[in-house]
Structure 1
Amino acid sequence: MSEILGDLSRPRVGPGFRLQWEQVQDCHVLLYPEGMVKLNGTAGEIMKRCDGQSEVAAIVKDLEQTFEAEGLRPDVVAFMEMAAKQGWLVWE
């Protein structure tokens, strides 16, 4: 990751990972060759919006509208930064 995550960054699921809904687990999971990461509801909602096309600002706005909340940006960005350190997310 060579740039700081900003409002115009477009996060996407990192190479080697696949995001999918697991009916049996009743949650989103990240699959990778060595295993699986079970995501909580909030993490799943953020990750499913990280399609490489949507900018951070648009993702935050969509989450705020969907959940009728305001001021989510700090928490969303903090999660994205943690996810990037784990390799779950990369951005353009």
Structure 2
Amino acid sequence: MIDFQRHQVPILRPGFRLQWEPIQNSHVLLYPEGMVKLNESAAQVLLLIDGERPIDDIIDSLAGRFPNVPGLDEDILAFIEVANAQHWINIR
């Protein structure tokens, strides 16, 4: 169940940091209690979460980079929902 609107703006929660980790050969989300190794799709979404860009702009940006991917917007919304539920991001 999505409890946010596409015009809202996601932001990484305080204490969370996204970075490339060469040893993991992937992006990771670091936080005080640990680390989450991200797949490439999750990393592409999180890289666009800057606290200024609304969800619609994130979807449009990724749709421009990956044209003709069916269901891309639903996948992005589903990931944002999971990231919000996991408390990786806040949505304002």
**Normalising to structure 1: TM-score of the pair?**
0.89
Q: Secondary structure at the residue paired with 2:14?
A: coil
Alignment coverage as a number of residue pairs? 90
Deviates further, 34-43 or 12-21: 12-21
**CA-atom RMSD, angstroms?**
1.5
Superposed CA deviations along residues 8-31 of structure 1, whole A, max 9, x for unmatched, are 111111122111111221211010
Q: What is the one-letter code of the residue matched to 2:34? A: G
- Once the two structures are TM-superposed, the CA of residue 69 in structure 1 deviates from its matched residue by 3.0
Matches within 5 A, 1:7-86: 7-70=6-69, 71-86=71-86
Distance (Å, rounded) in 2 between the aligned partners of 1:52 and 1:60: 15
**Normalising to structure 2: TM-score of the pair?**
0.89
Gaps of 5+ in 2: none
Divergent runs of 4+, >6 A: none
CA 1:55–1:37: 2 relative to 1, 3 Å? same
Gaps of 5+ in 1: none
